[in-house]
């Protein structure tokens, strides 16, 4: 009799405790996300959500990653974004610095511990720079300070340092809660669940805004249909694999030698996740952010140049989504190459005595797998680019200012769908490890 093992989810004490710990920690994080930074100007902060263009895109991205903490400028206004940035920097430096690459290859377990330690350490200066830069940029965009008494003069120094320290402490609190979830709750899901919870918490607000917008009933059906199709496509592509045949040598059991085992090495179609979208978004917003510091310059040519850059990198231009699409595709290839090189399948298979039929062990195997990975990355990269520009495509067919766009966040959909899939797979694995087979259970 076929019955799902999920009916034992709450009966398994170990899994039940992990779920309760995870929910409790997520509740604590969401509570902290509503604690404001000391000394904020609420009227100025309220104007953040009204920004448009490149500035509005960056605000929306940061607000999504922080679970709405930017819009009310809480101590978690940076979310865990500095940690993610530090993690990406170290991952990109690993293949560039030979000593780091050898450390990761010689002892992967110790290498991961070392990487985690230095990621946390690097997060602190990244959070300091991000907090200072974020407040300064918001002040520049809004024309007034989001923090009262902001500055490094004698009378404003203490409030300024207090605001920066509070934001850095909020980020480190978020990282710590994520690590606690990964250790005592659902393992290795901490940061993903924190970002996931933040995104999901904004959905009721978006739905209320859609209802209050008094749009025609068919607009809700269109949004629901596009969301369902997009989610289906994301799941389909995320599950895409290319199985490369691998022969593992037989093992000696007593005086007998077992036959070689034929297996498969699955290569993912989309190995980069949502990281290329973050890269591309940051790359496109950086020129406009940099130019915003010179808009009020007294030098004519510098002021004109900054105004031109600000207009050129405006998200409302026709070519902006085209460039966004191209950058996402390029960054997908770049990040996939970096991540795949760190896996070093050629040497790992050689150490196990395994071999791909017709391919020499070692470096030739790594080169062959790299070529295969690059070929299958092509559809994954184009799909990721399409998902990234989907809100721009959708907005072209909607009335100006339609709130339906609030439900279509490419990065948000990727995070939500990816986190749900990984969480479901993790819970199913935990159930199987405890003897619950979800394919056939005799009641």
pLDDT in tens, 147-204: 888 888 888 888 889 999 999 999 999 999 988 998 888 877 788 888 888 778 777 7
Residues 59 and 168 in one domain: yes
Give the sign of the dihedral formed by CA 89, CA 94, CA 100, CA 104. Answer: positive
69 alpha carbon, distance to own chain's centre: 16
Residues 95 and 239 in one domain: no
* Residue 342 confidence (pLDDT) above 50: yes
Q: Residue 429: inside a domain, yes or no? A: no
CB atoms closer than 10 angstroms to residue 166: 19
Residues 171 and 294 in one domain: no
252: β partners? 257
Q: What share of the chain is helix, strand, coil (3-state, %, to 5)?
A: 70, 5, 25
Q: Residue 186: inside a domain, yes or no? A: yes
Instruction: Name the residue with tokens 């669940």.
Output: 193
How do 261-268 and 256-257 pair as beta strands? unpaired
DSSP tag of 249: P
Residues 137 and 237 in one domain: no
Q: Residue 138: inside a domain, yes or no? A: yes
Q: Residue 387: inside a domain, yes or no? A: yes
- Neighbouring C-alpha atoms within 13 Å toward the C-beta of 325: 14
Using DSSP's 3-state secondary structure scheme, residue 297 falls into: coil
**Which pLDDT value is given to residue 428?**
78
Residues 182 and 79 in one domain: yes
Query: N- to C-terminal Cα distance for the chain?
Result: 7
φ and ψ of 268, to 5 deg:
-80, 140
pLDDT (tens digit, 9 = 90+) per residue, 64-93? 667 678 878 889 888 887 888 888 788 778
pLDDT (tens digit, 9 = 90+) per residue, 244-298? 888 877 666 666 666 677 888 888 888 887 778 777 877 777 676 667 667 666 7
**Average pLDDT rounded to a whole number, residues 48-71:** 68
Residues 104 and 230 in one domain: no
CA 94 → CA 52, 100, 172, 257, 332, distances in Å? 37, 5, 24, 40, 18
Give the residue among 77, 41, 37 at the shortest CA–CA distance from 198.
77
Residues 366 and 282 in one domain: yes
Residues 27 and 162 in one domain: yes
Give the residue among 74, 70, 44 at the shortest CA–CA distance from 149.
44
* Residue 6 confidence (pLDDT) above 70: no
Q: Residue 426: inside a domain, yes or no? A: no
CA 415 → CA 177, 356, 397, distances in Å? 18, 34, 25
* Residue % of the chain over a pLDDT of 70: 80
Give the residue among 295, 80, 75 at the shortest CA–CA distance from 176.
80
**Which pLDDT value is given to residue 3?**
52
Q: Which domain holds residue 18?
A: 1-211+439-443
User: Which tokens belong to 431?
Assistant: 């159930």
73 and 59 Cβ atoms separated by less than 8 Å = no
DSSP tag of 298: S
Instruction: Name the residue with tokens 């070692």.
Output: 362
Residues 195 and 224 in one domain: no
Q: Residue 409: inside a domain, yes or no? A: no
266: β partners? 243
Residues 74 and 94 in one domain: yes
Q: Residue 147: inside a domain, yes or no? A: yes
> Does pTM top 0.85 for this prediction?
no
Residues 304 and 374 in one domain: yes
Number of domains present in the structure of the chain: 2
Sequence-distant (6+) residues with CB within 8 A of 130 are 78, 81, 82, 85, 171
Highest mean pLDDT among 31-40, 218-227, 268-277, 285-294: 31-40
Residues 128 and 224 in one domain: no
- In 143-188, which residue ranges form alpha helices assigned H by DSSP? 157-184
Mutual orientation of helices 275-292 and 319-343 as an angle, nearest 10°?
130
Give the residue among 88, 105, 109 at the shortest CA–CA distance from 366.
105
> What is the pLDDT confidence band of residue 441, given thresholds at 50, 70 and 90?
very low
DSSP tag of 384: H
φ and ψ of 298, to 5 deg:
-80, -15
| H/E run at residue 18 | helix 13-32
Q: Residue 7: inside a domain, yes or no? A: yes
Using DSSP's 3-state secondary structure scheme, residue 152 falls into: coil
CA 341 → CA 135, 138, 189, 292, 348, distances in Å? 37, 38, 24, 38, 12
127-136, 304-313, 417-426, range with the lowest pLDDT: 304-313
Give the domain CATH number at 314. Answer: 1.10.3370.10
**Which pLDDT value is given to residue 442?**
46
What are the DSSP E strand ranges found in 132-255?
A: 241-248, 252-253
CA distance 341 to 335: 10
182 and 49 Cβ atoms separated by less than 8 Å = no
């Amino acid at each position: 009799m076929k019955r799902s093992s999920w009916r034992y989810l709450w009966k398994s004490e170990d899994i039940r405790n992990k779920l309760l710990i995870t929910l409790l920690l997520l509740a604590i994080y969401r509570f902290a996300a509503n604690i404001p930074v000391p000394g904020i100007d609420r009227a100025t902060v309220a104007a953040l959500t009204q920004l448009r263009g490149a500035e509005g895109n960056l605000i929306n991205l940061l607000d999504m990653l922080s679970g709405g903490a930017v819009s009310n400028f809480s101590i978690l206004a940076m979310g865990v974004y500095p940690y993610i940035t530090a993690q990406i920097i170290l991952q990109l430096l690993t293949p560039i610095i030979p000593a780091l690459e050898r450390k990761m290859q010689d002892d992967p377990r110790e290498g991961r511990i070392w990487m985690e330690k230095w990621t946390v350490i690097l997060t602190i200066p990244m959070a300091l720079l991000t907090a200072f830069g974020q407040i300064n940029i918001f002040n520049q965009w809004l024309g007034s300070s989001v923090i009262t008494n902001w500055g490094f003069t004698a009378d404003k120094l203490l409030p300024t340092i207090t605001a920066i320290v509070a934001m850095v402490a909020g980020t480190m609190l978020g990282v710590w809660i994520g690590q606690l979830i990964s250790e005592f709750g659902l393992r290795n899901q901490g940061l993903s669940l924190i970002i996931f919870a933040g995104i999901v918490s904004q959905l009721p607000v978006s739905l209320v805004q859609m209802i209050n917008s008094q749009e025609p009933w068919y607009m809700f059906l269109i949004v629901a249909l596009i969301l369902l199709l997009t989610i289906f496509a994301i799941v389909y592509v995320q599950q895409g694999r290319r199985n490369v045949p691998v022969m593992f040598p037989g093992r000696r059991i007593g005086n007998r030698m077992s036959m070689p085992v034929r297996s498969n090495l699955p290569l993912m179609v989309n190995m980069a996740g949502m990281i290329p979208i973050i890269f591309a978004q940051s790359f496109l917003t950086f020129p406009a952010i940099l130019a915003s510091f010179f808009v009020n310059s007294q030098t004519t040519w510098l002021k004109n140049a900054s105004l031109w850059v600000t207009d050129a990198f405006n998200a409302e231009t026709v070519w902006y989504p085209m460039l966004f699409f191209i950058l996402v595709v390029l960054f997908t290839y770049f990040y996939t190459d970096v991540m795949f090189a760190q896996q070093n399948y050629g040497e790992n298979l050689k150490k196990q005595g395994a071999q791909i039929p017709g391919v020499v062990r070692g470096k030739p195997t790594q080169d062959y797998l790299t070529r295969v990975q690059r070929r299958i990355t092509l559809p994954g990269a184009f799909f990721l680019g399409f998902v990234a520009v989907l809100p721009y495509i959708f907005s072209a067919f909607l009335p100006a200012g339609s709130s339906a766009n609030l439900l279509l966040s490419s990065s948000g959909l990727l995070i939500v769908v990816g986190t749900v899939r990984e969480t479901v797979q993790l819970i199913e694995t935990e159930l199987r490890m405890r003897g619950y087979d979800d394919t056939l259970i005799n009641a």
